[in-house]
């Protein structure tokens, strides 16, 4: 077989790339992945993440780098993610880390708060939220069991600021029976997150008995599913409306929704 890469005649000049594609290439080259470069700067505190999370965070948090935030991560382990986040956010940030293991208290330091307790304990979560909240970003990298992830989301979601993010890592445990998961297992975190998709759309139905309007419709901007990671973005929003424009005249309407029998909610 002939070598498909062998050139038999001079290669034609490459077609000019569209301007947008060019801009994307330049942008990607100009913005090094902080999370990847951080891997070479760790100390003896081990960092433990799935490799592809570094690319997800690079994309997801592009507007957050250097900003002063209130950030909380559940799960400290060997402490490796503390400096990862400390170096990513601004120097005026409040960084809070939770763990059930009392030994993790040793990781507290300047600008780094450590709280010891169980992420499945609503009383503990409430006390932490009252002390440090509200939060711009919460990352759950704790015990990864279903009741832990669900309880933390339920009790910490109200403490996320408008336009903030709630991130749950290692959601592959939703498929592991040992963690309370299983394929399409009711109550697994992945199933809870799928339910959120319905709830986000609960504006658009009049099936009140089986599908009532849920507060998530006013609060959830997006639910993003990555491999083993779910991200919920909060946006406190008005009911959706259509927008039309003709001859430069813009009109807004909520008719599309009222025909579905939800006049009462507007
Ligand atoms: C995957 S490790 C955290 C790794 C760390 N975030 C990193 O990126 O290097 C999980 C941690 O969650 C903690 N953990 C387990 N169950 C917990 C619970 N119920 N509440 C709080 N922390 C828990 C464990 O003690 C462990 O330190």
Ligand 1 atom closest to Cα of 78?
Answer: 9
Of all helices (H) and strands (E), which one includes residue 200? helix 189-200
Helix boundaries (H) for 121-188: 122-132, 146-156
Ligand 1 atom closest to Cα of 79?
Answer: 9
Residue nearest to atom 11 of ligand 1 (CA): 75
Per-residue pLDDT tens over the stretch 99-123? 999 999 999 999 999 999 999 999 9
Give the CA angle between residues 71, 172, 160 to the nearest 5°: 25
Domains and CATH numbers, the chain: 72-235 (3.40.50.150)
Contact 254, 248 (CB under 8 A): no
Whether cis (ω within 30° of 0) applies to the bond prior to 115 is no
User: How buried is 236 (Cβ within 10 angstroms: 0-12 exposed, 13-18 middle, 19+ buried)?
Assistant: exposed
Per-residue pLDDT tens over the stretch 163-175? 999 999 999 999 9
Distance between CA atoms of residues 110 and 94, nearest Å: 10
Q: Which two tokens stand for residue 170?
A: 């290692």
Residue to mutate, 51, 77, 84, ligand 1, most ligand atoms under 8 Å from C-beta? 77
Q: How confident is the model at residue 28 (pLDDT cuts 50, 70, 90)?
A: low
Mean pLDDT of 70-84: 96
Give the CA angle between residues 137, 80, 191 to the nearest 5°: 45
């Amino acid at each position: 077989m002939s070598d498909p890469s062998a050139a038999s005649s001079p290669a034609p000049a490459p077609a000019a790339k569209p301007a947008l594609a060019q801009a994307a290439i330049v942008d990607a080259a100009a913005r090094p992945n902080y999370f990847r470069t951080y891997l070479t700067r760790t100390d003896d505190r081990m960092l433990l993440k799935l490799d592809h999370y570094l690319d997800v965070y690079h994309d997801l948090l592009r507007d957050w780098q250097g900003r002063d935030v209130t950030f909380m991560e559940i799960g400290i382990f060997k402490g490796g993610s503390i400096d990862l986040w400390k170096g990513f956010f601004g120097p005026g940030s409040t960084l809070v880390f939770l763990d059930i293991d009392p030994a993790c208290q040793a990781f507290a330091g300047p600008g780094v708060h450590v709280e010891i307790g169980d992420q499945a304990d609503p009383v503990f979560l409430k006390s932490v939220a009252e002390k440090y909240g509200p939060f711009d970003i919460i990352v759950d990298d704790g015990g990864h069991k279903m009741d832990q992830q669900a309880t933390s989301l339920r009790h910490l979601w109200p403490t996320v600021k408008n336009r903030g993010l709630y991130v749950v890592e290692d959601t592959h445990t939703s498929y592991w029976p040992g963690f309370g998961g299983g394929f399409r297992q009711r109550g697994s975190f992945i199933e809870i997150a799928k339910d959120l998709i319905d709830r986000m759309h609960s504006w658009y139905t009049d099936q009140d008995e089986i599908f009532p309007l849920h507060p998530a419709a006013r609060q959830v901007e997006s639910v993003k599913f990555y491999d083993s990671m779910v991200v919920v973005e909060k946006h406190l929003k008005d009911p959706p409306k259509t927008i039309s424009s003709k001859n430069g005249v813009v009109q807004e309407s909520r008719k599309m929704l009222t025909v579905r029998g939800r006049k009462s909610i507007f």
